[in-house]
Amino acid sequence: MIEEVDLARVYALYQALPEFRQPEPLESLAERLGDDYLALVYSEAGEDLGFKLGYPENATVFYSWLGGVRPSARGRGVAQALLEAQEQRVSARGFHKLRVKSMNRFPAMLRLLIRNGYLVDGLTPAQDPLWTKIHFTKPLGQTPGEST
């Protein structure tokens, strides 16, 4: 089941994921998000297994900022379900484009984004290529490759 939740519930899951070795304090996340954000959690049998967290960049672009899935739930479609739910909710709120960044050190995320029509539109290089940030965008309501 996927539901919209408050930041505190997402934060508990965020702290539990190994990729976030030094999680930001809850107050820091709340300050960046402000009052207008979308927090989704995927749960089964009362256990939160994954989350997506994002916020509007402007009136037409939504930024998918943080997300993750518990290692024990990976490979079960949790990330795919969260991605689809986020796209649907963001589109319903009137946004025209989703933006997201990932890194070479997260190949499963890179594959998920490309498989779902996200297009590479920039890089932020790092000294270690594993930490290079890859920028993606996806126009909502269009087939990839259509002009915007």
Mean pLDDT of the chain: 93
Q: What is the pLDDT of residues 84-130, one digit of tens each?
A: 999 999 999 999 999 999 999 999 999 999 999 999 999 999 999 99
CA distance 63 to 145: 20
Q: Is residue 69 part of a domain?
A: yes
CATH label of the domain that carries residue 83: 3.40.630.30
Report how many domains make up the chain. 1
Q: Is residue 94 part of a domain?
A: yes
Q: Is residue 62 part of a domain?
A: yes
Query: Given a cut of 80, is residue 138 above it in pLDDT?
Result: yes
Query: Given a cut of 50, is residue 136 above it in pLDDT?
Result: yes
Q: Is residue 74 part of a domain?
A: yes
Calculate the alpha carbon distances from 136 to 13, 75, 102, 131, 145 in Å. 24, 22, 8, 15, 14
Task: Please check whether residue 58 is in contact with residue 94, taking contact to mean a CB–CB distance below 8 angstroms.
Answer: no
What DSSP string runs through the chain?
-EEE--HHHHHHHHHH-TT-SSPPPHHHHHHHHTT--EEEEEEETTEEEEEEEEEESSSSEEEEEEEEE-GGGTTSSHHHHHHHHHHHHHHHTT--EEEEEEETT-HHHHHHHHHTT-EEEEEE--SSGGG-EEEEEEETTS-TTS--
Domain housing 53: 2-139
Q: Is residue 76 part of a domain?
A: yes
Q: Is residue 146 part of a domain?
A: no
Q: Is residue 145 part of a domain?
A: no
Query: Given a cut of 70, is residue 145 above it in pLDDT?
Result: no
pLDDT number for residue 148: 45
Q: Is residue 81 part of a domain?
A: yes
